[in-house]
Structure 1
């Protein structure tokens, strides 16, 4: 589905990703793990083509996309749920969700699945996005990404700062989107237990490089201690 070959990324003179090669299998959830500052978010931005300079090859379904600007990558089928959600506070829930349709491949309408997954949003379409809680805004960001009808969804720490009850709802939505609808996902996550529950593969980052990767069963406590213990 998504393949990176010898990718290097830079913020100015800062070498953030170094010779990263990674295969994201179709219809699976791949967890991107590591301590803060190790290149996980940079990987997602590199895939999306935003806020970073990069070299190397990125392929989506066998097609090179590394030379495309961000909006063309979105139309090719990549959706991004960023850390911090980036909800437009003065827009209604409905308007925020529909922003995904303008960025992606879908029609200018909210897909029924988005409202089915997140009943709170369905019942509050006219509320301003800025008055929602952190967890509700995360649901809104996921619904917005779904409206783009993506082939691949990039999720940057979707559980950060969210109350446990909403984390369960988000986990259920991610699991259903992957297992029932076959949506490919790249999940940046600090919560190892969550990653083990939802992901089928993982890649561990350290100082901008992949130091270990494989099926999620290979994400042992020893691997976690080796690369994420402080």
Structure 2
């Protein structure tokens, strides 16, 4: 589905990603794990084409996209839910969701599935995005990404700073999108239990390189202790 070959990413002189080879299987959730500062978010930004400089090949369904600008990668079928959500505060819930529709490859309308997954949004389409709680804004960011009708959804720590009740709703939405609708997802996550519940594959990052990867049942406590325990 999504294949990365010899990917290197740079912030100025900092070599943030180093010779990354990774295949994201279609219709699965792949968890990207590791301590802070190890290259996880950089990987998602590289996939979206928002890094200042990167090298290597990225293929989506066998087609090279690494030479495309960000907006064309979105239209090719990649949607991004960034850390911090990046909701436009003065736009209504409806307008924020429609931003995803205009950026993506589907009809310029709110998909019914987004409102089904997040009933609060359906009942508050008129409210400004800036007055929503952190958890509600995360739901809005997911709905915005879904409105792009993506083939692959990139999620950067979707549970960070969110109240437990909303975490359950987000986990349910991610699980349903994947298992019922076959959405391919790349999930950056610090919560190992959450990753084990929703993902089928994982890649562990350390200092910009993949040090462990495979099916999620290989994500043993020993692997976690080795690479994520300070």
How far apart are 1:158 and its partner, in Å? Answer: 0.0
Partner residue of 2:58? 58
DSSP-derived class of the 1:159 partner = coil
Structure 1 residue 12: Cα displacement: 1.3
Instruction: Give 3-state SS (helix, strand or coil) of 1:75's partner.
Output: helix
Partner of 2:143: 143
Displacement of 1:119 in angstroms is 0.0
> Unaligned 5+ residue runs, structure 2?
none
Give the match for residue 185 of structure 1.
185
Output the CA distance in 2 between the equivalents of 1:136 and 1:112. 18
For 2:38 and 2:50, how far apart are their aligned partners in 1?
18
SS of 1:150 mapped into structure 2: coil
Partner of 1:226: 226
Contact 1:87 1:141 in 2 (8 A): yes
Contact 2:28–2:178, Cα closer than 8 Å, also in 1 = yes
Counterpart position of 1:75: 75
Q: Within 5 Å, which residues of 2 pair with 1:95-134?
A: 95-134=95-134
The Cα of 1:50 is off from its aligned counterpart by 0.5
**Matches of 1:13 and 1:138, distance apart in 2:** 33
Structure 1 residues without counterparts, runs of 5 or longer: none
Would you say the 8 A contact 1:89–1:129 is kept in 2? yes
Q: CA deviation at 1:205?
A: 0.0
Task: Confirm or deny: 8 A CA contact 1:98 1:109 kept in the other structure.
Answer: yes
1:51 deviates by 3.1
Distance 1:214 1:57 in 2: 21
In 2, the alpha carbon distance for the partners of 1:52 and 1:221 equals 36
Aligned residues: 230
Q: Secondary structure at the match of 2:3?
A: strand
Confirm or deny: 8 A CA contact 1:42 1:52 kept in the other structure: no
